[in-house]
Amino acid sequence: MDAMPKWADVVLIPLISLILAATISALVILAIGESPVEALNLMVKGALGSTYGWGYTLYYATNFIFTGLAVSVAFHSRMFNIGGEGQAMVGGLGVALICLYVPWPHWSLALVGGILAAAIFGAAWAAIPAFLQAKRGSHIVITTIMFNFIAAALLNYLLIGALKPKGSMEPATGKFPEATHLPSFQDMFSFGETALFRGAPANVSFFVAIVACFAVWALIWKTKLGYEIRAFGHSESAAKYAGISPTKIIMISMMISGGLAGMMAINNVQGEAERLVLNAVEGAGFIGIAVALMGRSHPFGVFLAALLFGFLYQGGAELALWTKIPREMIVVIQALVILFTGALDDMVRAPLERVFLAFKRRKRKAA
């Protein structure tokens, strides 16, 4: 009955959107007076040409997997969580507190502690807008965006006040103790003389992110809760008929979403910076929206889209380093990807459906 086979919907459409975004980006690069081919070459080499490049690409990807999953889970209950940024900031606060004030004997325990603290803090930060949505009907988009600013203000306050070590001039916490430092890819994959991933920030959190992908997949498609979340997302009136409580679903899905966004902090705060600095999230919460859109809210899609954005991020940094192309170019590319995969989805979909239909009809005639 569907106009298109599933693979076309899942693979072909994002791919075409991506090519369109890339084409327009190429035109912009041309307009700046640089060569798009050269630029692509640089990006690929910089992001994927060495284990060092990979180490950065995967580090960024880890952030985006967490925030992408966060937005996806909320999407399934038709909640648009734009607050990933703030939830990740507050998650970072949780990680900082637990790393600074709990004496951990070993990094593995500190990782578990970090995950829990990040998730709980992120979830709590999402819980307030969720409650306002469920009980007062305050629109989640508005409240989560406002909570981003509140989170930023909160961190500002704490990092120049209570959490700043005495005598420090920098708005940041002190260095976390040695035992909370997570093993980086360099620690894990370098044997003997050859140092792989030297100096790159990718760390064990990447594997936590992969586990999170599987967990979200199982949650959404294999559990009763996921069934209820999706049912509510498709039709609130039907969910009510079935006895699914809207309040419960909004609260739980938003808290899972916030928890996932918060968990990003084990990567950027505990794994990389090893202390909490201002603006640690660096917009990853917003990129999560693009990642979720492009990944069609499916964990596997999110994983692939996060890798892509990791590549764009790292490649973009390289571009800024070696050419006149500013780093903001990456923001342009992201915006184009969001535009094509989100807002202009139908522009690609409708003609493609027609092509498939025509193809089907011809096949039927031939048969």
Partner 1 sequence: MTTAPAIELKGISKSFGPVQANKDISIRVMPGTIHGIIGENGAGKSTLMSILYGFYKADAGEIFISGQKTAIPDSQAAIAAGIGMVFQHFKLVENFTVLENVVLGAEDSGLLRPSLARARRELKALADEYELNVDPDAIIEDIGVGMQQRVEILKALYRRADILILDEPTGVLTPAEADHLFRILENLKREGKTIILITHKLREIMDATDTVSVMRRGEMTATVKTSETSPQKLAELMVGRKVSLQVEKSPAQVRDVILDVQNLNVTDEKGVHRVKDVSFNVRAGEILGIAGVSGNGQSELLEVLGGYEKGTGTIIVNGQPIDLTGAKSDGRSRRERGIAHVPEDRQREGLIMDYHAWENVAFGYHHDPKYQNGMFMNNAAIKADTVEKMERFDVRPPDPRLAAKSFSGGNQQKIVLAREIERNPDLLLIGQPTRGVDIGAIEFIHQQIVALRDQGKAILLVSVELEEILALSDRIAVMFDGRMMGERLPQDTDEKELGMMMAGMNKGEAA
C-beta of 361: minimal distance to partner 1 in Å? 8
Among 108, 142, 187, 234, binds partner 1 (CB under 8 A): 234
> Which CB atom, from 50 or from 138, has the smaller least distance to partner 1?
138
Among 241, 365, 366, 367, binds partner 1 (CB under 8 A): 241
> Which CB atom, from 118 or from 251, has the smaller least distance to partner 1?
251
Identify residues 210-229 at the interface with partner 1 (CB under 8 A).
218, 222-224, 227-228
Helix or strand holding residue 212 (H, E): helix 205-222
Beta bridge partners of 277: 172
Beta bridge partners of 191: 194
Helix or strand holding residue 142 (H, E): helix 140-159
> Which CB atom, from 6 or from 106, has the smaller least distance to partner 1?
6
Residue 290: other Cβ atoms inside 10 A: 27
- Residue 1 in the binding site for partner 1 (CB under 8 A): yes
Cβ neighbours of residue 197 under 8 Å, at least 6 residues apart? 51, 52, 54, 55, 184, 185, 186, 189, 190
CA dihedral sign, ordered 138, 144, 149, 152: positive
C-beta of 3: minimal distance to partner 1 in Å? 6
User: Tokens in use for 312?
Assistant: 């764009």
Identify residues 298-357 at the interface with partner 1 (CB under 8 A).
353, 357
Among 32, 142, 238, 355, binds partner 1 (CB under 8 A): 238
Quick check: 86 and 148 in contact, CB under 8 A?
Answer: yes
Among 50, 190, 245, 323, binds partner 1 (CB under 8 A): 245
Q: Which residues contact partner 1 by CB under 8 A?
A: 1-3, 218, 222-224, 227-228, 230-231, 234-235, 237-238, 240-245, 353, 357, 360-361
